Amino acid sequence: MKKDLVTIAMIVFLSMLFEFVGWFDPVRILGERIAVPVTTVSTKIVEKLLLPYSALEFSLTKSKYLKQLEANYAKALANLAEVDALRAENEELKTLLGASDRKLDKKIIIGAPIVSLAFPAVGVGSVDGVQEKDMVLIHGTLVGTIDQVTEYQSKVSLLSSRRKTRILARTESGVEGVIDGDGKNVLLTHIPRSTPVQEGERVVTVGQEGIERNIFIGTVQKAISEPSDATQTFLISQIVSFYSSILVEVQ
């Protein structure tokens, strides 16, 4: 036991002596020279090993951020589109309501066109007071009539379609004929061959059941009948279009 204590005491004494005289400095310097490069190399190795994981983490974070930006951008565009649609609808509504020739006791129902592959329609129905044979107008121009009515939607028979019920019309010079359609165009038909009709003449309704008198239809564009036809047929130009309008009137 005493020998052990003496040995330990001697080791401590020699260590302090070597430290005092500086004999440990070369050993310490050598150790530092060895340790520093090892530490540097180890650090670089660890950094290189972690680089793919860091790049992957950055990529995932960036991808998530970009997706969030895209989602926010898409939402902003959708909101802008909705605002633009509402603004356009409000302007159209103000134009319709601001017409000076309106009668307060006249039935006027305003609705949005519904365009589908099945048939054109308007988003108002029997609950709004719509009835069959009501006129459909855009800015005072007759574009069709109501063909069928459901509770919240009504089918429209456009003047350009092949109609069950034809509309009597006349030009501003007094030439009378019938409004019909070929599935694409509005036509003024059944005009006697000897009766002259000028291009550019305005065409209005004559007046019949469900159709008021002097409702504007369009202007005469050109004759499209063949020389062998028994009567004349003229193509009618309508500036307005059911398919591109925001709102229509039902009367």
Quick check: is 53 in a domain? Answer: yes
For residues 126 and 199, state if they share a domain: yes
Tokens of 62: 């960036």
CA distance 113 to 115: 6
Question: Does residue 193 belong to any structural domain of this protein?
Answer: yes
Residues 99-107: contacts with CB under 8 Å, at least 24 apart:
99/140, 101/140, 106/251, 107/251
pLDDT at position 186 over 80: yes
Position 166 scores a pLDDT of 84
Identify whether residues 178 and 138 lie together within a single domain: yes
Report pLDDT for 151.
Answer: 94
Asked, for residue 103, whether it belongs to a domain, the answer is no
Same domain, 128 and 226: yes
Q: Are residues 90 and 126 in the same domain?
A: no
pTM more than 0.75: no
- 104 in any annotated domain: no
Is 156 a member of any domain?
yes
Domain that includes residue 152, residue range:
109-250
Domain boundary among 98, 133, 153: 98
What's the structural domain count of the chain? 2
Nearest to 247 by CA among 95, 84, 116, 129: 95
Residue 142 lies in a domain: yes
Q: Are residues 71 and 134 in the same domain?
A: no
Residue 251 near residue 107 (C-beta atoms within 8 A): yes
For residue 109, give the 3-state DSSP assignment.
Answer: strand
Q: Quick check: 136 and 121 in contact, CB under 8 A?
A: no
Q: What number of other Cβ atoms are within 10 A of residue 246's Cβ?
A: 16
Give the mean model confidence (pLDDT) for residues 169-197. Answer: 93
Q: Do 124 and 201 fall within a single domain?
A: yes
Tell me: do 93 and 128 sit in the same domain: no
Q: 170 and 125, same structural domain?
A: yes
pLDDT tens digits for 53-111?
565 566 657 666 666 665 565 555 555 555 555 666 566 665 655 554 555 556 788 88
Say how far apart CA 212 and CA 124 lie, in whole Å: 21
Asked whether residue 86 falls in the same domain as residue 161, the answer is: no
Rg of the Cα atoms in the chain: 45
At which of 72, 98, 124 does a domain end?
A: 98
Same domain, yes or no: 44 and 82: yes
Per-residue pLDDT tens over the stretch 127-144: 999 999 999 999 889 999
Do 71 and 161 belong to one domain? Answer: no
Tokens for 157, please give them: 């028979």
Question: How far is Cα 96 from Cα 242, in angstroms, rounded to an integer?
Answer: 15
Residues 34 and 152 in one domain: no
CATH of the domain at 123: 2.40.10.350
Cα 99 to Cα 87: distance, rounded to the nearest angstrom: 19
The domain boundary, picked from 44, 70, 98, lies at 98
Q: Is residue 210 part of a domain?
A: yes
Q: How far apart are CA 236 and CA 171, in angstroms?
A: 11
